[in-house]
Amino acid sequence: MRTKHRWRGWKVLLFTGWLLSGVARAGETAEPASVTAENWARLRDETFETVWSTINAAYYDATFGGVDWVAVRDRYRLQLPAVTDQPGLRRLLTAMLAELKRSHFAIMSREAAVFTPAERVRIGTTGLRVAYVENVVALTGVAPDSPAAAAGLHPGETIVELDGLKLDELDRYLRETGIEPARCGLWLMQLAESRLRGPVGSNVSLTVRDGAGVTRDVRLTCAAHEGVWSEPMGDFPSVPVECDIRQIEPGIAWLRFNVFARQAMKDIRKLLTGMPADGGLILDLRGNPGGVTVMAPGISGWLSDHAFSLGTMHLRQGHLGFEVAPQAHAFLGPVAVLIDRGSASTSEIMAAGLQEAGRVRVFGENSPGAALPSLFKALPTGDLLQYAIADMQTPAGRLIEGNGVTPDEAVSLSLADLAAGRDPVVDAARRWLASQRPAAKAQPSQP
């Protein structure tokens, strides 16, 4: 029988796919100062055992989904003597973790992680946002005054090749292995982001194709991330935080943030507690890979006047409910949530819970189904292990992992939409909000 655990602190519910995908290039060649030729074999073996034993003790499914985890250890441990450097060990451990066929398992190099302001040069930006559109990785946004803007890149163009990687070949490989389209899209987006967000001063080479089919080669140099960064939490590193709020028409607000991080909460709270009672809200979670999971019930509390559940986290022993507590001055008007194949983890948990509670209407594309709560742990070599510790179930009993969230109204972007500056997903949400707002006006005003 499962027992219900009390909340034991922030460390239980952390994940950010953006962090893992956005800095993968940074540590491929550098070695941590603590790793030497003399201690390499010892640290290598200790790191391997730490990874295996941590998952053996913490993985939420005692049967490992039918995977013989002991046999996996024995098979990969035979390969250890041939591993002579950090990149090789990361590849071996990543392959071992892939045997579980679940999200939220990864090895991150310490050189790629940011724990101090001085280390922020490890995550630079080209100023590009991408999404999986019409089965290709497309440019969806170009930041003003960024390296991408200076190179003349535009939304609607697609990435053909990135640092020598042919994305169409990778896409075909993923599909041939039986991976669902939504998960293919997530992985290709994360791969593109990993190459487009390298260390400050590093170069990115890409080949792009425009709407007429014309290709060109572009070379970008990653610039520094200016603005707000999250603070590290234990072994969970810092990431840049973006929160964009706009009034797209009188009474209708649009909110987008790139990651669930505490530093975004002030702006989110200010918006939600200041919304007019007869207003409407578009919560755009497209491309948001997750973050601090407890933010989902926190934000949801500013959207409700009653308590409800976003779902249940099932651990190896016990379970934990994601309970929403109503907050003062909550916005009770209509809310449209936008999702796509880049909406993962906390984004999926929040969208699914609010959808089942009948509090929102969801627009867009199926999310990828990558929603396992996880932890980060420092390894003997200095690298970081991310590992899932729980499965996530909606109040109706649906598992999000591997299934994702299905929108109430399916709407897709096209390459032509991006090139023309159109957003049919936002347009669909606006039409629905317009149909709901007369009912909202009849509600009593917020205090």
On the question of pLDDT at 11 being above 50, the answer is: no
Which pLDDT band holds residue 447 (cuts at 50, 70, 90)?
very low
Q: What is the pLDDT of residue 134?
A: 93
Q: What is the DSSP letter of 132?
A: E
Q: Tens digits of per-residue pLDDT, 270-296?
A: 999 999 999 999 999 999 999 999 999
Q: Encoding tokens for residue 20?
A: 């893992």
3-state secondary structure (DSSP) of residue 266: helix
On the question of pLDDT at 19 being above 60, the answer is: no
3-state secondary structure (DSSP) of residue 297: helix
> How far apart are the C-alpha atoms of 408 and 174, rounded to whole Å?
27
Domain boundaries, the chain: 10-117, 124-224, 243-373+389-437
- ∠ CA 188-130-425 to the nearest 5 degrees? 110
- List, in sequence order, every beta strand (DSSP E) within 121-214: 124-125, 128-133, 136-142, 158-162, 165-166, 203-209
Domain topology for 243-373+389-437 = 2-enoyl-CoA Hydratase; Chain A, domain 1 (3.90.226)
Examine domains 10-117 and 124-224 and report if their fold is the same: no
3-state secondary structure (DSSP) of residue 220: strand
Q: Encoding tokens for residue 419?
A: 């090139």
pTM: 0.88
Which pLDDT band holds residue 17 (cuts at 50, 70, 90)?
very low
What CATH number has the domain spanning 124-224? 2.30.42.10
Q: Name the residue with tokens 């999971």.
A: 293
| C-alpha distance from residue 233 to each of 230, 268, 375, 381 (Å) | 9, 21, 11, 20
Domain topology for 10-117 = Transcription Regulator spoIIAA (3.30.750)
Please give the helix or strand (H or E) that residue 168 lies within, else none: helix 167-176
Q: What is the pLDDT of residue 370?
A: 92
The most confident of the ranges 180-184, 259-263, 442-446 is 259-263
Q: Tens digits of per-residue pLDDT, 51-109?
A: 999 999 999 999 999 999 999 999 999 999 999 999 999 999 999 999 999 999 999 99
Q: Encoding tokens for residue 134?
A: 């019409």
H helices then E strands: how many in the chain?
12, 20
| C-alpha distance from residue 444 to each of 277, 332, 333 (Å) | 7, 10, 11
DSSP string, 24-93: TTTTSS---TT--TTTHHHHHHHHHHHHHHHHHHH-S-TTGGG--HHHHHHHHHTTGGG--SHHHHHHHH
Contact 373, 313 (CB under 8 A): yes
> How far apart are the C-alpha atoms of 381 and 57, rounded to whole Å?
21
